[in-house]
Amino acid sequence: MSMRHDINAPILQVVGLSVRFETPLGLVHAADDVAFDIYEMETLALVGETGCGKSVVASAIMQLLPGNAVVEGKALFSKMDLLKLEEKEISRVRGNEISIIFQNPSLSLNPIIEVGEQIAEPLQVHRKMARRESHQVAKGFLSRLGLGERSLMRMYPFQFSGGMNQRVMIATSMILSPKIIIADEPTKGLDRALARDVTSEIEKIMDLTGASLLLITHDISLAAMISDRIAVMYCGEIVEMGKCKDVLREPLHPYTCALLDCLPERGFKPIAGASPSMIDPPQGCKFHPRCPYKTQECMQKQRIRKIDGDERQVRCWQY
Amino acid sequence: MAGDFNRVASCKATEWAKILRLDMRGLRIALFGLLLFLTIFILAAFSDIFAPYDPWNRFEPFLAPCREHILGTNDLGNDILSELIYGSRVSLIVGFGAALMATLIGTLIGLFAGYFRGLMDETLMGITDVFLMIPQIPLIIILAAFLRPSFWLVALIMGALWWTSTARVVRSKAMQIRETSFIECSRSLGFSHMHIIFSDILPNILHVIMPKFLLTIASAMISEASISFLGLGDPTMKSWGMMINFAFTRGGFINGYWWWYLPPGLCITLSVLSLVLMGFSLEEREEETMRIE
Amino acid sequence: MTFSGKKAIRYFLAIILIFSLNFAIPRAMPGDPLANLLGEDVMLTEESIAELRAKMGLDLPLHEQFLAYWRDIFSFDLGYSYHLHSPVSAIILSRMKWTLLLAIPSLILGAILGTFLGALAGWKSRDAGQKFETGLVLMIYCTPPYFLSLLFLYALSFKLGLFPLKGFYSTGSALDIAHHLMLPVIVMTLFSLSRNYMIMRGSVIQERGNLYAAYARAKGLYGEEILFRHIFKNAILPIITLLALDFGFILSGALFIEIVFSMNGMGNLIYDALLSRDYPVLQGSFLVITVMVVSANLLADLLYSRIDPRVRWQ
């Protein structure tokens, strides 16, 4: 991984992002006051349990949420606020400057279009490239991912394995050399060996294209392997953020500690209690009902503590 | 996609709303259809109260709409408004009779094919495919031509032909439900196949059968109107299709007596529409619910 | 191109079954099979009846009659109409071309317009303008085609005098035929459009919720691009089969439209045959229509296997 930023300005700045869904049962607070920066050539991992709202954050940035979502906040990218763009304008950003890899490759690809055409499509849509030419480029990318055989271009997703389809998506996402690639659970449902393959493919692309990566995963060990910085999400909030090494070596937030204790190498300890309802989240710190260190303050208010400038932050009263 | 959480949340939400019977998505249109349908149903049930005259009574023929005869009279001098009101009966009886029979056959075939699968499925679905290809209206015309027209017969033939799409839908649903763990559970408890099919699977697909049933009534009504238009209707009953046929063949149309053929035509359209609105909106709702779950 | 044997067997069975039904109907119905086969009101002397009975093989055992029936079918002999004094196959052949002249352009127009408008309606199903359009199409969908014809005929021909009242032609020139055909074709197109529209709309609504549609948007496709580059092809797949199954219904619609417009095609042939109980003509028409419907289904299956790679590669 290339070393990062410091002097550079961030290329994506997410500020105060909140997402709520209107459902018949009431408002679901899927993301609350989420803020993070992504710098050039870096990998930021957004880690958390399934249902903590991390995927919602990714979709919100791309304006891909369903109609019942209410989004607030800002996502600044090359002097634009992505959240305020019209559909027409954001569609020029999607796939072109920011691309996303969905978590279910076999369902995300169109079942009756040849994979070659699907990889080449962004070239035709964004660059108005002729079909044949775009297929040439697509073929180049596919072979870089180890799917070089000519005939593969004319195959259909149902003829591919999940791992192959994942690679097709990776090739599609990088074909226009975007500035940011968002990978939403790229290894979900893949076995260990395949997950490792896909991970190394992703790393290869990051080096190749110089794009930044927003990695969304529930898998801390994957995040540890490839990310520069880590942000831990719990119940729609980022509870702790910092350099990957620091967070893993010296977790500050009790939830991060608990999450790390769940890992097999640390003894498989489950977190006591259950995830809170997102319709009616707890007052104050959302982790307090499950937190062994809770105090009176925790139940009423939250505090974000910044350490080393902006380098490290934690949402907890202990610090 | 990204909304994995969203999906979970709304799933819980719909379950709750179902329990509380608060889920109104897409129901407004269905309600409108229901209202329209009830109006027609009440007219049919209490024709003798609503109709100003006996539809067989003869007055002066070819009267234009006037105070005594709001929609005028036909070539025989029958009051058209009374004919119209009594005509709803044939439509509804044929529609309901045919749909009831078709739904019964379709449900049984679909359940058996979907539950037993294998050879049973192959055979039953093969038969369904064959039935699907029979040109139904021409066949009904032929049979009705050979047998003296009676609306019971028409309903019977339609019922025997129109079970195919219900069978297909029920089969695929039954196949889905058969794989769920509660069926597994029933099987391991040693319940008989028939018990599982009728007490475990059937109640869980009633919500798919209902819209199909409504749409089948609609098709049967439109076809009854078509058959009657050909003069194959039951001569002992007044029906809307027959009224249009008489208007068409006995000069009502050529002379521009719109009050003779326009009202029955509109009645057919509206009653079919009422059922189609209910059927379609229930079906669409079903699809949306499925997606969320 | 694969064409599974199972499907072939089903088509084969369908044809056998329907043709056998056609054999059975006049013989199983109440009354003298001879009358059922000749048609009622045919005036014949005693000896010619006996002669005909022997000639038509009605005194033979049923299975021999059945074999003879099939032999006739394979030599395109559909019987003889004593009302029209002509072989049924010749009558149908001469009438069929007029029906096809009405049905084919309308079916094609209706299929194209119906699928495209229906796709757009499904894509923007929440848009107020679309809802209005869908409502209008739904009204047509719920109207029997003959009543729709009456309405159009009354409004456009009677009141406005834009179109001729009846028939296929008066002078016989191509332009004249086209002028006569215009209104029935419009009605027939609307009728088939309304059915395709509703089916396609539902299919698009179902498809647009799939993940691949969301991914197409994430790749930067905008608005209708997503519909036409990704959803349309998927949505039309189930449609092809449904359209073929609907073909029989739509064709029956053409018959009714012909009757209202007094056109000299199959519809009026059947109508007249009904009035005079000319059973051979009725049965022959039924068989020809069956063959057309089954062929349409066969065609749809072939087309389907062409378009859907999942079937093609099996």
**Residue in B1, B258, B273 closest to C142 by CB:** B273
pLDDT digits (tens, 9 = 90+) for B169-208: 999 899 988 888 888 888 888 888 888 998 889 988 888 8
Nearest to A176 by CA among A100, A114, A105, A115: A100
A305 — pLDDT class (breaks 50, 70, 90): confident
Range in A122-126, B12-16, B97-101 the model is least confident about: B12-16
Question: What domain range is C295 assigned to?
Answer: 89-312
Residues C187 and C293 in one domain: yes
C307 — pLDDT class (breaks 50, 70, 90): confident
CA distance B67 to chain C (A): 26
Task: Compute how many other C-beta atoms are within 10 angstroms of the C-beta atom of residue A162.
Answer: 16
Residues C43 and C168 in one domain: no
pLDDT digits (tens, 9 = 90+) for A174-215: 899 899 999 988 887 777 788 888 888 888 777 877 889 999
Residue C248 lies in a domain: yes
Q: Determine the pLDDT at residue B5.
A: 38
Residues C61 and C133 in one domain: no
Q: What is the 3-state secondary structure (H, E, C) of B214-270?
A: HHHHHHHHHHHHHHHHCCCCCCCCCCHHHHHHHHHHCCCCCCCCHHHHHHHHHHHHH
Asked if residue C121 lies in contact with residue C133, where contact means CB atoms within 8 angstroms, the answer is: yes
Buried/exposed A22-32: b ≥16 CB within 10 Å, e otherwise: ebbbeebbbbb
Residue extents of the structural domains in chain B: 2-292
Which of C75, C99, C120 is the C-terminal boundary of a domain? C75
Is residue A70 within 8 angstroms of chain B, CB to CB? Answer: no
Residues C136 and C18 in one domain: no
Residues C28 and C134 in one domain: no
Task: Compute how many other C-beta atoms are within 10 angstroms of the C-beta atom of residue A86.
Answer: 8
CA distance C55 to chain B (A): 23
Asked if residue A98 lies in contact with residue A104, where contact means CB atoms within 8 angstroms, the answer is: no
Nearest to B162 by CA among B202, B199, B135, B143: B135
Residues C119 and C15 in one domain: no
Residues C176 and C266 in one domain: yes
Residues C161 and C200 in one domain: yes
Over residues B87-102, mean pLDDT:
92
**Superfamily name with CATH number, domain B2-292:** MetI-like (1.10.3720.10)
Nearest to B94 by CA among B240, B196, B210, B200: B240
CA distance A29 to chain C (A): 22
Q: In chain C, which residue's Cα lies nearest the Cα of B283?
A: C202
Specify whether the backbone of C111 is left (phi greater than 0), alpha (psi in -120 to 50) or beta: alpha
- Subunits with 3+ Cβ pairs within 8 Å of A are B, C
Residues C29 and C172 in one domain: no
Residue C83 lies in a domain: no
Does the pLDDT value for residue B291 go beyond 60?
A: no
**Residue in C214, C218, C308 closest to A112 by CB:** C308
Over residues C177-200, mean pLDDT:
90
Q: Verify whether the Cβ–Cβ distance B5 to A52 is below 8 Å.
A: yes
As for the ipTM of the complex, it is 0.89
Asked if residue A158 lies in contact with residue A111, where contact means CB atoms within 8 angstroms, the answer is: yes
CA distances from A195 to A162, A187, A219, C64 (A): 11, 5, 11, 71
Do β-strands A98-101 and A180-184 pair in parallel, antiparallel, or remain unpaired?
A: parallel
Which residues are bridge partners to A45 per DSSP? A215, A230
Q: C118 to chain B: which residues are within 8 Å by CB?
A: none
Residue C284 lies in a domain: yes
Q: Verify whether the Cβ–Cβ distance A94 to C218 is below 8 Å.
A: yes
Range in B49-63, B83-97, C50-64, C198-212 the model is least confident about: C50-64
CA distance A121 to chain B (A): 20
Domain tally, chain C: 2
Residues C184 and C206 in one domain: yes
Greater pLDDT, C294 or C176:
C294
Residues C122 and C262 in one domain: yes
Residues C98 and C68 in one domain: no
Q: C220 to chain A: which residues are within 8 Å by CB?
A: 91-96, 122, 125-126
Q: In chain C, which residue's Cα lies nearest the Cα of A182?
A: C218
Residue C42 lies in a domain: yes
Q: Which residues contact B293 (CB under 8 A, 6 or more apart)?
A: B11, B14
Nearest to C269 by CA among B138, B60, A278: B138
pLDDT digits (tens, 9 = 90+) for B109-134: 999 999 998 888 988 988 898 888 88
Does the pLDDT value for residue C42 go beyond 70?
A: no
Which residues are bridge partners to A38 per DSSP? A12
| Residue bearing tokens 């999607």 | A94
Is residue B13 within 8 angstroms of chain A, CB to CB? Answer: yes
Q: Which residues contact A83 (CB under 8 A, 6 or more apart)?
A: A17, A60, A61, A63, A71, A73, A74, A75
Q: What is the CATH number of the domain that holds C227?
A: 1.10.3720.10
CA dihedral of C155, C157, C161, C163, whole degrees rounded to 10: 130
A94 — pLDDT class (breaks 50, 70, 90): very high
